[in-house]
Amino acid sequence: MAGDGPTLTNLVGVLALQGAFGLHVDALDALGVESKLIRVESDLAGVDRLIIPGGESTTMSMMLDRNDLREPLAARIGDGLPVFGTCAGMILLAVDVSDGRADQVGFSAVDIGVRRNGYGRQNQSFTTELPVPVLDAAIPAVFIRAPRVERVGDGVDVLAKLDGDPVLCRSGSVLVSSFHPELSQDRRLHRYFCDLN
C-alpha cells in the first residue's frame, strides 16, 4: 500500500493562482513533505510533482494565461510530471468538459469527460466515507460543486466510485479526484500521490 515506505518526492508544487491551495500545503506539511507555491514559470524550478487545487476552473484557466503558466505547465505535464488535480484541478486536466465556457482551455492530461458542478450547487455540498481499494481504506470525501465523471477513456484506472460514478481516477502519473481531500484531516490520498512513480 502507498505510504508504507519512504516518500519518493522531494518538492511538490502547489498551483497558487486561485482556490484552496493553502490547505494542500497544510496536508503536505503534515506529511513532512516540502512544498512550493507556483504562481509564475520560475516557481517550477526544482518541482518534481504538482497539485492543481479546487477552486473556480474558469478563473484558474484565465489566470494560467495571465501568468504565462499554461505552456510551461503543459510541457512539464506532457513530459511526465506527476500531477494531482482535485475538483477544479480535475476539470483542468480532463480531455472533455461539459457546461464549461467556450474559451476555457485545459491540459487534456487524462482521458475523461467531466461535467462541471455535476453534483449540484454549493448548497448541495456533502461529505461521505469513500472506499478507496488502493488505500485499503475508506476516506472522508468532501464534494463541493464537484465535477461528475461522465466518460472514462482507455488507459484510465478508476480508483474509487460513488454510486457507480468514478470520483477518483489515475492515468499514469496523473491522479484526479472529484472531491477535496485537503478538507479533511486524512492525509492518505496525499501520501498516495507523493509515492506515485
Residue 24 lies in a domain: yes
Active-site residue, selected from the candidate residues 24, 180, 190, 194: 180
129 is a catalytic site residue: no
Residue 27 lies in a domain: yes
Number of structural domains the chain divides into: 1
Active-site residue, selected from the candidate residues 24, 182, 190, 194: 182
Mean pLDDT of 176-195: 96
Q: What's the rounded Cα separation, in Å, for the pair 90 and 110?
A: 9
24 is a catalytic site residue: no
Q: What is the pLDDT of residues 49-108, one digit of tens each?
A: 999 999 989 899 999 999 999 999 999 999 999 999 999 999 999 999 998 777 677 899
41 is a catalytic site residue: no
**Strand 174-177, strand 83-86: pairing:** parallel
Active-site residue, selected from the candidate residues 87, 169, 190, 194: 87
Residue 5 lies in a domain: no
Residue 2 lies in a domain: no
Residue 90 lies in a domain: yes
The pLDDT of residue 1: 39
With left for phi above 0 and alpha for psi between -120 and 50, is residue 69 left, alpha or beta? alpha
Q: What is the CATH number of the domain that holds 58?
A: 3.40.50.880
* Model confidence at 2: pLDDT above 50: no
Residue 3 lies in a domain: no
Q: What is the pLDDT of residues 3-60, one digit of tens each?
A: 445 555 689 999 999 988 999 999 999 999 999 999 999 999 999 999 999 998 989 9
Beta-bridge partners for 30: none
Which range of residues forms the domain containing residue 40? 12-194
Q: What is the pLDDT of residues 127-170, one digit of tens each?
A: 999 999 999 999 999 999 999 999 999 999 999 999 999 999 99
Nearest of 84, 47, 53 to residue 172 by alpha carbon: 84
The pLDDT of residue 123: 67
